[in-house]
């Protein structure tokens, strides 16, 4: 009896542990609806959260890429239908590297295009075919921490078994290696559609035809696999993509089961969420996912033409923080160690705004590089100098945080696209003159001259005349003068 009881206890201990499942992450927020305007989508697919914390989305049927802040505020868009540089024919997969460069799988142009973080075209590679560096039907893309690029994809029922493969490239598009052929064995593929790289160098590939995930080393060595067709936990119906978070957890977009499944790196099921529908947390043919540094999961919900976000932490609005040694760190304002060195919401560390020194212009002290200061015609103060405290005795400090408390002037949206909006707060009735100056201190516009405004908050507008660049807004009242800077993007 004693022996039987002991065996029974051991059996219970061994079989209880695997059934634990974590709760799915709660719904946080969403953005987007069907259309072609800013922040609207038509069949969104690829999504990536770059090192600069911005979110990039491949808007397939609008043939463009859209960039957003972490909380879904539209920043910019680029691309149009076509086959030229910067044009697209079904931009499906999307990935970013450690420098926040953006790589786009341009499927029916059979190529990959690479852009800067602000959408400037850099290079392209690929053409139709099954040779090295060529594509039959590319779909998914990933970039590892060594900046190697992985591309997968194959046509349904494709005539070339060799096209069911993974190809690895340098960040400049040079072919490195390939692996896979059509089949269901280890290291073989049937329509590989999604690929991801984790922080330790493992590569994950998800297949439509075999309804599974395979894990490899970066040199193509097979490690393990899991999955199979079905609707149960760990089973898939047309899985479209795979993503890995910083802790090594794996997320599979189980498209035609209209859900997301989460696993450990060895394929152990953890949790799932989603059903068919259009409500919060519901999906209609989700396509891709991306995970931010807080563990929040962003999903392109293609059939509902939106992005949904799930997690425990609402992403803080970030900006560039300039450390005392001149390095740049992307962070929330309250996490910047030197408050005066936070560059404002939405500023990016690429290009680095924490440039090397202060430039003394006619009216302003401006932090910039020595080469930029030369272009502006200013006096460069040397590496490491900042505008607070002001090293330019005859110049105003160009820093919004230093504006006088009694009168405040802020930019509603920076950079300015279209009509610029500004908020002016006055402690009393004032005669106001508002001037726009360029970086050399020249007045280029005077939106308001000697205008009487009462106490309180006023909404002001200024329409830039087909120009781009950095400008300064100078407010003069009967009591004081304050300035703020803004960037115009056309």
Q: What percent of the chain has pLDDT over 70?
A: 77
CB neighbours of 482 closer than 8 A, spacing ≥ 6? 403, 404, 407, 408, 409, 474, 475
The C-alpha atoms of residue 272 and residue 452 are separated, in whole angstroms, by: 60
In terms of pLDDT, which residue wins out, 390 or 274?
Answer: 274
Better-scored residue on pLDDT, 200 or 407: 200
C-alpha–C-alpha distance, residues 306 and 297, integer Å: 14
Instruction: Name the nearest CA neighbour of 172 among 138, 151, 195, 149.
Output: 149
pLDDT-wise least confident of 115-129, 160-174, 184-198, 458-472: 458-472
* Interatomic CA distance for residues 24 and 261, integer angstroms: 9
Buried b (16+ CB within 10 A) or exposed e, 464-485: beeeeebbbbbbbbeeeebbbb
List of residues 6+ apart from 212 with CB closer than 8 A = 206, 225, 226, 227, 228, 236, 239
Per-residue pLDDT at 169 exceeds 80: yes
Give the pLDDT band of residue 158 (cuts 50, 70, 90). low
As given in the structure block, the two tokens for residue 109 are 């142009």
Single out the residue of 30, 40, 85 nearest to residue 60, CA to CA: 40
Each residue's pLDDT tens digit, 353-394: 776 678 887 666 777 777 777 766 678 886 556 776 778 876
The mean of the pLDDT values for the chain is 83
**Interatomic CA distance for residues 267 and 273, integer angstroms:** 17
Query: What CA dihedral angle connects 425, 428, 430 and 434, to 10 degrees?
Result: -10
User: How far is residue 239 CA from its own chain's centroid?
Assistant: 23
User: Higher model confidence: residue 192 or residue 293?
Assistant: 192
What are the pLDDT digits (tens) for 75-121? 899 999 999 999 999 999 999 998 889 999 999 999 999 999 889 99
Q: What is the DSSP string of 73-94?
A: -EEEEE--BSSSTT-BSSEEEE
Residue ranges of alpha helices (H) inside 41-178 are: none
The answer to whether the beta carbons of residues 288 and 49 sit under 8 Å apart is: no
pLDDT tens, residue by residue, 7-51: 232 322 333 334 356 899 999 999 999 999 999 999 999 999 998
Strands (E), 355-413: 357-360, 364-368, 379-383, 396-397, 408-411
Task: For residue 250, give the nearest of 275, 277, 225, 230 by alpha carbon.
Answer: 225
Does residue 416 surpass a pLDDT of 70? Answer: no
Question: Is the four-CA dihedral 406, 407, 412, 417 of positive or negative sign?
Answer: negative
> Residue 371: which of 392, 389, 356, 391 has the closest Cα?
356
DSSP string, 196-208: EE-TTS-EEEEET
Q: Which of 177-186, 238-247, 354-363 has the lowest mean pLDDT?
A: 354-363
Rounded to an integer, what distance in angstroms lies between the CA atom of residue 94 and that of residue 307? 15
CA distances from 86 to 89, 109, 191, 244, 379 (A): 10, 11, 27, 28, 38
Which residues are within 8 A (CB) of 73 and not within 5 positions of it... i.e. 6 or more apart?
346
| 201-212 confidence digits (pLDDT tens) | 999 999 999 999
The residue count of the chain comes to: 490
C-alpha 285/C-alpha 283 separation (Å) is 6
Confidence at residue 299, expressed as pLDDT on a 0 to 100 scale: 98
- Give the mean pLDDT of 163-182: 96
372 or 263, higher pLDDT: 263
Alpha helices in 337-452 (DSSP H): 370-376
């Amino acid at each position: 009896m004693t022996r039987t009881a002991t065996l029974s206890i051991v059996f219970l201990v061994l079989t209880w542990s695997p059934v634990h499942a974590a709760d799915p992450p709660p719904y946080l927020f969403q953005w987007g609806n069907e259309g072609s305007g800013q922040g609207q989508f038509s069949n969104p697919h690829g999504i990536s959260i770059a090192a600069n914390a911005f979110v990039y989305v491949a808007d397939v049927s609008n043939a463009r890429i859209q960039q957003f802040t972490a909380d879904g505020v539209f920043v910019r868009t680029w691309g149009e239908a076509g086959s030229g540089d910067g044009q697209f024919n079904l931009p499906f997969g999307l990935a970013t590297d450690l420098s926040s460069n953006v790589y786009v799988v341009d499927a029916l142009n059979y190529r990959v295009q690479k852009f800067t973080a602000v959408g400037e075209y850099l290079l392209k590679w690929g053409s139709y075919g099954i040779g090295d560096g060529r594509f039959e039907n590319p779909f998914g893309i990933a970039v590892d921490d060594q900046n190697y690029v992985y591309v997968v994809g194959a046509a349904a029922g494709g005539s070339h078994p060799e096209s069911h493969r993974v190809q690895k490239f340098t960040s400049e598009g040079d072919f490195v290696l390939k692996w896979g052929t059509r089949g269901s064995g280890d290291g073989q593929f049937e329509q590989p559609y999604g690929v991801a790289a984790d922080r330790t160098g493992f590569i994950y590939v998800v297949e439509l035809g075999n309804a599974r995930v395979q894990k490899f080393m970066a040199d193509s060595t097979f490690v393990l696999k899991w999955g199979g067709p079905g609707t149960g936990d760990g089973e898939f119906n047309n899985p479209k993509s795979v993503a890995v978070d910083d802790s090594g957890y794996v997320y599979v977009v189980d498209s035609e089961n209209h859900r997301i499944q989460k696993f450990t790196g060895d394929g152990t099921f953890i949790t799932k969420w989603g059903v068919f529908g259009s409500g919060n947390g519901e999906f209609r043919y989700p396509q891709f996912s991306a995970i931010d540094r807080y563990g929040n999961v962003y999903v392109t919900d293609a059939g509902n033409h939106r992005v949904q976000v799930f997690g425990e932490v609402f992403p803080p609005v970030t900006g560039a923080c300039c450390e005392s040694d001149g390095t740049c760190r992307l962070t929330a304002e309250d996490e910047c160690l030197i408050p005066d060195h936070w560059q404002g919401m939405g500023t990016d560390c690429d290009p680095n705004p924490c440039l090397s020194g202060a430039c003394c212009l006619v009216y302003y002290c401006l932090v910039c590089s020595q080469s930029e200061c030369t272009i502006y015609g200013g006096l460069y103060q040397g590496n490491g100098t900042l505008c607070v405290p002001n090293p330019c005795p005859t110049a105003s400090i160009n820093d919004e945080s230093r504006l006088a408390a009694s009168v405040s002037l802020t930019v509603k949206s920076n950079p300015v696209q279209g009509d610029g909006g500004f908020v002016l707060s006055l402690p009393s009735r004032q005669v106001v003159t508002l001037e726009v100056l360029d970086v050399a201190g020249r007045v280029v516009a005077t939106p308001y001259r000697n205008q009487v405004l009462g106490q309180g908050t006023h909404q002001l507008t200024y329409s830039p005349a087909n120009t781009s660049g950095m400008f300064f807004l100078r407010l003069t009242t009967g009591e004081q003068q304050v300035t703020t800077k803004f960037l115009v993007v056309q």
